[in-house]
Chains A and B, each alone.
Chain A
Amino acid sequence: MALIHIQNVSVAYGWPSRPVLSNLDLSIEEGEFVCLLGQTGCGKSTLLRLILGSELPTAGCVLIDGVERRQPDRTCGFVPQKYSLFPDKTVLGNITFGPEVNEFNLLTRLTPRYFRRRRQFRQEAMHYIRRLGLHDADAGKYPDQLSGGMQQRVAIAQALINKPRILLLDEAFSALDPGTRKDMQRLIRQLWRDTGITVLFVTHNTQEALYLSSRVIVLAKEAPDQGSRIALELPVPELCPEVQISTMVMRLDDASGCTREPDDAALATA
């Protein structure tokens, strides 16, 4: 049975109702790296929020391991494009937030056990800090003292330390400069290979989608007054000849209406 199962899901906003997604069916297996591709406003982030549980469908249902999603929980780690870190906490505080709230509430934080466990949480957080390419000295910094790329590294560490089954990234690298973006893409791909976590990555960049994922799903609207559906589903082989990639790029661009970004042209073949 698929890990994520989206059954005949429709989403519409406002009155008169404006459809965003129409009768969408999708299954994602455990350990897959799926990229959702499509133009702005096609409902990629909406679909992500449905899986996250922060939004409910107008019709249909979203199941994870056969259980219907009603609200966000630890099953899914989440890395948004912006506001991914708590500004009042240091890098270390941000990463240890998850383990701390899972084991201790406002009252049990006053017990000696909390201070013992906190040391362990910090050690584990330091391991993630190093693994994600940050320095020990960054641990005491606040998010506004970090660059965009560093902030997203911390956000990924913050999500991974909780060991979620699914990692959801909503245009997580869109605001980064091309160099940092490439670094982050390599990092997330490596983490996926190492941990075997299921990743769902929302992007509007065809090259990025092809480089990262094991499957690309294109969402597109057939008509302006209709909700998006799956326009194309394309498995991406691990080792892919350059000619085949070029063909896939063209097919994906045609299906999604996305344009190719020159900065990332070489990435798909990297």
Chain B
Amino acid sequence: MGHKFQLVHAIPSRTWAVLLSWFLFALGIGLYLQTAHRRHQENTDDRIVPTVPQMARSTYDAAFKPAEDDEQTIAENASLPQRFFASMLWKDTKATSRRFFYSLLLLTPAVILGLHMGLFPYVGVFFSRFVLFFDKIVALSLLPILFIAFGIDELSKIMLIVIGVTPTIILDTFNLTRSVPREQIVKAFTLGAGDFDVAYRVVLRQITPRVLNSIRLNLKAVMLFLFAGEMIASTDGLAYRIALLRRHMGMDVIIPYVLWVALLLFLVDLAMRLINRKLHPWFHEA
């Protein structure tokens, strides 16, 4: 009887792996270029599917010229870096990044709370039901309440991210804390450690790389809530610009902006992964 070929055991060669992994990118770009070319043959002023030169021109303007609504002007003889730091893209990126990093900082108390909930039974009992309930609330549905309560300033946008992502991080940290073997905790006590030594010198150190991974996986959710807040109520930021340009059908700027956001998020993710690896050489992902 002949053996059936088992696809599960087929290992692509390096060349095939490279070709296959880039194929969908090439297909997407090819389809886009083809569509853009066809639409521009029918209508040279088409704005729905801009051509590459159109996008390059708009990207250059976004990266080296101030926004139209910006009162700032740049001297004629300004250098390229000077132009960049006064540009629309830089200002939007700066505004979004500031909110993004404040939100990430505000996740620290969430990690600490999750750690204490997982380690100290009384803290766990006190908070777990409430956090579980809070986790089920759709954060975006709170947006009107946040705008009413905190106004439409920075605080409401950051609170939206915190409310949206915090319960997940608390519960993740709680579960990670509970997964630390009981033997390790008992052992630490037999070595003379106190409650806080066990919490911060044994458990937190062990779970930190996994918590960082959990935050990495939630970066997109952080960005999603940030974009929702910026699109609805903001006067600067990447999402504000995308929402603004949508009204003018400015696809030649929107597409580069979307790719720029993806690139930034990828870089943040990569940086966190490298830092994690550097700080925790003992940690091997399963």
Contact = CB atoms under 8 A, between A and B. Distances in A.
B190 A101 contact: no
A142 B284 CA distance: 12
Contacts of A82: 181, 183
A86 B183 CA distance: 10
Q: Which of A52, A77, A83 has the most CB of B within 10 A?
A: A83
A83 B183 contact: yes
Interface stretch (B131-139, B198-206, B211-219, B256-264): B198-206
B187 interface: yes
Q: Which of A71, A78, A86, A102 has the most CB of B within 10 A?
A: A86
Nearest to A98: B191
Nearest to B186: A54
Interface stretch (A6-14, A156-164, A196-204, A220-228): A156-164
Main secondary structure of the interface of B (DSSP, over half): helix
Contacts of A71: 189
A13 to B, nearest CB: 15
Contacts of A101: 188, 191-194, 197, 201
B189 A73 contact: yes
Main secondary structure of the interface of A (DSSP, over half): loop
Given A52-B186, A159-B190, A162-B192, A106 B282 contact: no
B206 A76 contact: no
A83 B188 CA distance: 12
Interface in A81-122: 82-84, 86-89, 97-98, 101-102, 105-106
Nearest to A170: B183
Interface residues of A, number: 30
Interface string B8-41: 0000000000000000000000000000000000
B73 to A, nearest CB: 50
A159 B188 CA distance: 10
A52 B190 contact: yes
Given A74-B192, A106-B196, A162-B192, A88 B282 contact: yes
A87 B282 contact: yes
Q: Which of B181, B187, B193 has the most CB of A within 10 A?
A: B187
Contacts of B205: 86, 88-89
A255 to B, nearest CB: 29
B177 to A, nearest CB: 14
Contact of B192 (A83, A98, A143, A144): A98
A84 B192 contact: no
A84 B189 contact: no
A74 B187 CA distance: 10
B81 interface: no
Interface string B153-195: 0000000000000000000000000000111101111111110
Nearest to A77: B190
A83 B191 CA distance: 15
Contact of A88 (B190, B191, B196, B280): B280
A73 B189 CA distance: 5
Q: Which of B191, B206, B282 has the most CB of A within 10 A?
A: B191
Contact of B190 (A83, A143, A144, A164): A164
A148 interface: no
Nearest to B199: A106
B197 to A, nearest CB: 5
A96 to B, nearest CB: 10
27 contacts: A52-B186, A54-B182, A54-B189, A73-B189, A73-B190, A74-B192, A78-B187, A78-B190, A80-B183, A83-B181, A83-B183, A84-B183, A86-B205, A88-B206, A88-B283, A89-B205, A101-B191, A101-B192, A101-B201, A102-B191, A102-B192, A105-B196, A106-B197, A106-B201, A162-B190, A162-B192, A164-B190
Q: Which 5 A-B pairs have the closest CB atoms?
A: A98-B191, A83-B181, A102-B192, A72-B189, A142-B282
Interface of A: 52, 54, 71-74, 76-78, 80, 82-84, 86-89, 97-98, 101-102, 105-106, 142-144, 158-159, 162, 164
